[in-house]
Structure 1
Amino acid sequence: MNGTDSYAMASAQFTVPDYAVFVLMLVVSVAIGVHSAVRGGGSSSTQQYLLGGRRMSPIPVAISLLGGIISAISILGNATEMYYFGTQLSVNLLGCVLGTIITQWLILPLIYPLQIVSINEYIERRFKSSKLRKMATSCQLLQYSIYMGICLYAPALTLSTVTSLPTWASVVSMGVICTFYITIGGVKAVVYTDVVQTLLMFFGVLVVVIICCIRLGGLDEVWTISDQGHRIEFFNMNPSPFERHTFWTSIAHGIYLIVAYVGLNQQTYQRFASVETLTISLRLCTFFLFGLWVLWVLFYFSGLVAYATYSTCDPLTAGSIEKPDQIIPYLVVDKLGHIRGLPGLFVAAVYGGVLSSLSSTANSIACVIWEDFLKHREYFKGISDRSATNVIKMLSVATGLLAIALGLLAGNLGSIFQMTQTVLGAISGPLIGIFISGICVPWANAKGAAVGFIASFLSCLTLEVPEGRRLPADAPALRHRLQRHRRRRLGPQHHGIRLRD
């Protein structure tokens, strides 16, 4: 069977029940946004629209915090890394514990009591420089914009694998839906929709993993096949930073993820600030760590399940899929497509992840543009709170349109995990440096922070990813580089090893 025939087979397996499950998820998401807008009276104040009045219930906020960070990028990207490069990356969960401790002991006790709306306001207060604040905000907007594009592109890969819908149509439709409910409902719409989407994301992947495990002969069989394929590795103690994943780089990666995307992130800060007390915020952070472990262990294991299923015939090298990140969607339609409704449930789970993350990010972009660039300008100083809220809603619409445009371009940047960590890391690293220096270095001033930020930003953008760490989309290059990667891990005595087709 050639690649084209395989694609046709996959597309044909997305049936009416699958479409029904998928569309139902979208309808529920839009309905929640409409309900939040009606119940909230249109969110007549910026505090109500952006922070839910700082009196939101902790339980939905906790689930929203989880869904806003863990997206389709995690569902597809983490599984792909396990499939092609093994379990060493999963050690980053230990680093996440250390990152959570830093967030709870150092960051939240300092930021939360300030009662600010934009987290970048801390920079202005600490360094007494509005220019440095605007510089940091500009960097943050660049990071969020690229992230939204990747978020929209990730599920488009899934839908194009299981249906004949083109990628651009998927990106546009999801962008429009997300823009609609984030605009009319504000942060409450985001939070309550995140609850539905996060639960759907978890159970959708869980069902796929359980059924595949049963068919393969159980967890032990999946683990054995993965071990025989050299996918089980946790203690690669190589100190080289140029190895794709080692024990040390995975620990550092976990610390960075929590500090950058939870402790010093606008969208998570809005969740922390939407509850009444600092104590509740600290508990939210603990809940996030627990939920992260549960979801990421599931996503990581789904990659091993996929490897155990295709250990003798890789769909990418066989031409059955076009990109590495399509491996899990292909598994669903190839092995489970005969179960009506299950492909639809999985696609809904992936889209639930992207909608939760995209809506959180879009809301945050509108927030920082208003708070950091527009609020204090002469033209906007005299407007009413309701008018200010309408301005933020218009910013949300513009943000959604930007996400659609970037989502259409994201397909040219490589694998999902690679482009997320490389591109976003290069942008967010210098930004986190400003916050950390402000918190931990009392003698740091605005000039020093600005020079350090610019130097770090430029150096990060000019660094090239080593050739052996890239994951190409073309099958021949993939085979060659995966062989080279495995030889480095196993040592010179295994240089004759070959990948099985």
Structure 2
Amino acid sequence: MVDPSHTFHIADYAVFGLTILISIGIGIYYALSGGRQRTTSEYLVGGRTMQFIPVAISLMVSFESSIMMLGLPAEAYVYGIQWWWSCVGFLVAQLLSIIMLVPLIHPLQITSAYEYLQFRFNSTAVRLLGTALGMLTYVWYMGIVLFGPAIALEAVTGFPQWGSIFVIAFVAVIYTSIGGLKAVIWTDVFQAFVMYAGMLAVLIKGTIDVGGPSKVWEVASAGGFDPDPTVRHTFWALFFGSAIRGFGLAFNQSTVQRVSATKTQKEAKWVLLIVAPCFFFSLSMACYEGIVAYAYYETKGCDPLESNKISNPNQIIPFTVMDIFMSLPGMPGLFLASLFSASLSTLSSGLSSLSALLWADIVKPRIGEISELKATIIAKVSVVVFGLIGCGIALLVSIIGGPMTQIAASLLGAFAGPLTGLFLLGCFSPWANAKGAFLGGMISLVFSSWLSMGKNFAKGVKKEPWLSPASTSMCYVNTTSGSVDAMLEQTTPAGLLYSGSVLKLLNGTAMAESYEVGYGLHYTDAALSSAPGAQYPYTTTVGIEVMYSMSYLWIAPIGILTTLIVGTIISVITEGEVNPRYIINFFDQFCCYMPECFLKRLRFDDYRKAAYDDYTPPLKGTYLDTELVVVASDGKANNVAKEPLISRSEPDGYVTRNGVRDSDVIGNDAGGRTATENGITKNNITGNEVVETDVTEDGSHTGNDTVDECHHEKGGSDAERDENNQTN
């Protein structure tokens, strides 16, 4: 039931419509310009020539969907500001990804994130398992993202949810299918400005109406630090759980696709360095929006949830926007445009990523060589198909209640947990093999899915009480048309499922016989009290329900840990060949100031050297050490069907993909020096002394003496160094 005072002005429709038209226009432009998206490289990874600033903005808004715009404010409105600790956890994970992910992924020049799994484990089965988990995560994520603006539009205009779902999907499919990744990235840039304009407008106007920031924080709820894992939100679940889950974003197909689209490793690192603080700021803004809305209705004296003016906590922000901007035509349209922009950016990124996964991991290995035009057509058609699948998922999500943050974390955690575990197992475990990875991932998937389904659908699950609702003392209720029961029956939203008789007065006192609410609050024969926090008592949990009552934030971390533990145990039992080229040396990255003699032991040096001897044919002028340089199997830089080989340079140079020193190759030489674009290599750390070496085109060098705490001075002539290499 739409509030008669909440109607769109023609200016609102104009602002909203203009946003949609510009998004489609960008897609048309890139469909008709440049290479016209006729090759899979241009269509799926932007020709690998994208600038890092637009790529960073695109990656940032790819994760800032309607879940953030609607779900986080709803979470803060009904449960308080505890969720903010997740922002800190995500920030830590993204900063660590800069150090670990980029040096590992960017040199591979891959299209699908799951190509790494095949390289690491030398197993098609592990790669396909990763692809399946990734695609399941994406289609469910798109469904949740589509559902968000649909309920918002229904709250403010009465437009049916199913209609909104198909309209949003249609727009995203159009500009993604015709414009490719370039259209997705530049549309994301435009939509980012619209999104932040809408969010800031709500924050500023809402804070002013309440009476300033100090008044807003007076009604903010303090967070809890209870380590009980069955409590919905604790410091431990929010911070550490989110930090662990944050690595899932690092290995996300959207992240890998954009990292691969940049020219150099340095630019790829800048992408993530920009994204991390901006993402933190955006999530913090969304949490604060919920507190502003809570303070606004406390001051106004009419909680829209308690008074049944809205049917779902996810509708609180759209309803607030219509209230505070009632006298400012065009502003509600701006917010709705920002909400749709957030959803479109995420949806278009998901469609592009799914198209890349389908082509690189499933279609291409099975159909062999075909023309680039036919391959691009297949990728474009797949965008349309995945758009329709996303619509179907959105309709299913509409029957699951609760804040969108809970829906997303509990459902997506069942797939994202095992998937992230596979990547972490491959990156950090030098003993993990294909059998351990595959079985660990499968067992984790079954266990995580069981927890997720039980959490969302089991009866008798322990539910966390809402905050004391905002005041309803000033709500206007017209009871002249019939009894209170009749009024409640008329105003009971379709999204809530009541059983039994309900009589709830709007001044905060209430009486109830027995009822349950479809979006997750379950009460039995409870007399509701007006005391703060007592309106929603816990149910008693017994047996397996205790497991299902675990906080939804732990589902993904449990999936990750299950994969790591089971995968490690099976790998140790079965043994097997391991290619260490694709392992991140944790100690080299985070303990680089330690003496070389200790690092050599910590990096499993003897084991790695033996493996390199087996895998890498000897190259003239090279020797084995700890850092990586990636080349294609045929020596070409852009060979699509590549099986990377790892070569090692001597201290005065490095070997590139085509055997010629080239600044575009990412990797460190044996002494720790990293190639730069101007042909100069710099020693990162070798003991205490840091030196620089100039590398010329013919391989000559200057200034090569380094000192290490555990070894004698290294240096001398080229002949002496070659003699040392042969001895080693």
Amino acid at match of 1:85: Y
* Alignment partner of 2:418 out of 413, 430, 446: 430
* Alignment partner of 2:83 out of 78, 81, 89: 89
> How do 1:136-285 residues align onto structure 2 when only pairs under 5 Å count?
136-226=130-220, 231-233=221-223, 236-261=224-249, 263-285=250-272
- SS of residue paired to 1:412: coil
Amino acid at match of 1:100: Q
In structure 2, the CA distance between the partners of 1:454 and 1:480, relative to structure 1 (3 Å rule), is: closer
Shift of 1:500: 8.8
Amino acid at match of 1:497: P
Counterpart Cα distance in 2 of 1:473 and 1:70: 27
- SS of residue paired to 2:392: helix
Amino acid at match of 2:24: V
Count residues with an aligned counterpart.
477
Shift of 1:418: 1.2
Shift of 1:83: 0.7
Runs (5+) with no aligned partner, structure 1:
485-493
Amino acid at match of 1:332: V
Partner of 2:532: 497
Contact map agreement 2:175 2:183 (CA 8 A) in 1: yes
Contact map agreement 1:483 1:498 (CA 8 A) in 2: no
1:329 aligns with 2:324: no
Higher mean C-alpha displacement, 105-114 vs 149-158: 105-114
- SS of residue paired to 1:461: helix
Shift of 1:474: 5.8
* Alignment partner of 1:319 out of 308, 311, 318: 308
Shift of 1:110: 1.0
Structure having greater relative contact order (Cα 8 Å, sep ≥ 6): 1
Identity %: 35
In structure 2, the CA distance between the partners of 1:211 and 1:419, relative to structure 1 (3 Å rule), is: same
- SS of residue paired to 2:329: coil
* Alignment partner of 1:392 out of 355, 379, 383: 379
Q: TM-score, normalised by structure 2?
A: 0.63
Higher mean C-alpha displacement, 327-336 vs 18-27: 327-336
Contact map agreement 1:313 1:500 (CA 8 A) in 2: no
* Alignment partner of 1:357 out of 317, 341, 346: 346
Amino acid at match of 1:176: F
Amino acid at match of 1:424: L
Partner of 1:19: 13
Amino acid at match of 2:213: L
**Deviation per CA, 1:266-324, whole angstroms, max 9, x where unpaired?**
01111111111111111111111111122112111100001101234321121100111
Shift of 1:498: 5.1
Contact map agreement 1:22 1:347 (CA 8 A) in 2: yes
Shift of 1:407: 1.8
1:304 aligns with 2:280: no
Counterpart Cα distance in 2 of 1:328 and 1:164: 16
Higher mean C-alpha displacement, 92-101 vs 325-334: 92-101
Counterpart Cα distance in 2 of 1:391 and 1:343: 39
Runs (5+) with no aligned partner, structure 2:
456-460, 467-494, 499-514, 524-528, 537-728
Counterpart Cα distance in 2 of 1:26 and 1:342: 16
* Alignment partner of 2:336 out of 316, 322, 347: 347
In structure 2, the CA distance between the partners of 1:480 and 1:346, relative to structure 1 (3 Å rule), is: closer
Counterpart Cα distance in 2 of 1:147 and 1:208: 26
Contact map agreement 1:143 1:424 (CA 8 A) in 2: yes
Counterpart Cα distance in 2 of 1:480 and 1:66: 30
**Deviation per CA, 1:386-420, whole angstroms, max 9, x where unpaired?**
21111101111111111122222220122311110
Counterpart Cα distance in 2 of 1:479 and 1:166: 19
* Alignment partner of 1:9 out of 4, 24, 47: 4
Amino acid at match of 2:430: P
In structure 2, the CA distance between the partners of 1:84 and 1:479, relative to structure 1 (3 Å rule), is: farther
Contact map agreement 1:72 1:154 (CA 8 A) in 2: yes
Counterpart Cα distance in 1 of 2:78 and 2:357: 38
Counterpart Cα distance in 1 of 2:84 and 2:44: 34
**Deviation per CA, 1:474-495, whole angstroms, max 9, x where unpaired?**
69756999899xxxxxxxxx99
Shift of 1:496: 5.0
Amino acid at match of 2:437: A
1:56 aligns with 2:44: no
**Deviation per CA, 1:56-75, whole angstroms, max 9, x where unpaired?**
11111111011111111101
Amino acid at match of 2:325: L
Counterpart Cα distance in 2 of 1:181 and 1:470: 43
Partner of 2:72: 78
Counterpart Cα distance in 2 of 1:54 and 1:326: 40
Amino acid at match of 1:438: G
Counterpart Cα distance in 1 of 2:464 and 2:383: 36
Higher mean C-alpha displacement, 347-356 vs 448-457: 448-457
- SS of residue paired to 1:319: coil
Counterpart Cα distance in 2 of 1:69 and 1:208: 20
Counterpart Cα distance in 1 of 2:535 and 2:10: 36
Counterpart Cα distance in 2 of 1:215 and 1:470: 28
> How do 1:417-496 residues align onto structure 2 when only pairs under 5 Å count?
417-463=405-451, 464-465=454-455, 466-469=461-464, 473=496, 477=516
Counterpart Cα distance in 2 of 1:54 and 1:284: 14
Q: TM-score, normalised by structure 1?
A: 0.91
- SS of residue paired to 1:43: coil
Counterpart Cα distance in 1 of 2:349 and 2:241: 23
Contact map agreement 1:123 1:132 (CA 8 A) in 2: yes
Contact map agreement 2:147 2:397 (CA 8 A) in 1: yes
Moved over 4 A (4+): 469-484, 498-501
Contact map agreement 1:14 1:337 (CA 8 A) in 2: no
Structure with greater Cα Rg: 2
In structure 2, the CA distance between the partners of 1:424 and 1:27, relative to structure 1 (3 Å rule), is: same
Counterpart Cα distance in 1 of 2:496 and 2:228: 26
1:101 aligns with 2:91: no
Contact map agreement 2:3 2:309 (CA 8 A) in 1: no
Contact map agreement 2:97 2:247 (CA 8 A) in 1: yes
Counterpart Cα distance in 1 of 2:123 and 2:520: 48
Contact map agreement 1:14 1:344 (CA 8 A) in 2: yes
Counterpart Cα distance in 1 of 2:259 and 2:465: 36
Counterpart Cα distance in 2 of 1:188 and 1:481: 41
Contact map agreement 1:10 1:330 (CA 8 A) in 2: no
Shift of 1:21: 0.6
Aligned CA RMSD, in angstroms, stands at: 2.3
Amino acid at match of 1:219: P
Amino acid at match of 2:255: T
Amino acid at match of 2:239: I
In structure 2, the CA distance between the partners of 1:168 and 1:478, relative to structure 1 (3 Å rule), is: closer
Counterpart Cα distance in 1 of 2:369 and 2:411: 39
Partner of 1:490: none
Partner of 1:487: none
Amino acid at match of 2:145: C
**Deviation per CA, 1:59-108, whole angstroms, max 9, x where unpaired?**
11111011111111101011111111111110122212320233122222
Higher mean C-alpha displacement, 105-114 vs 167-176: 105-114
- SS of residue paired to 1:310: helix
In structure 2, the CA distance between the partners of 1:482 and 1:376, relative to structure 1 (3 Å rule), is: closer
In structure 2, the CA distance between the partners of 1:138 and 1:286, relative to structure 1 (3 Å rule), is: same
Give the structure with the higher percent helix.
1
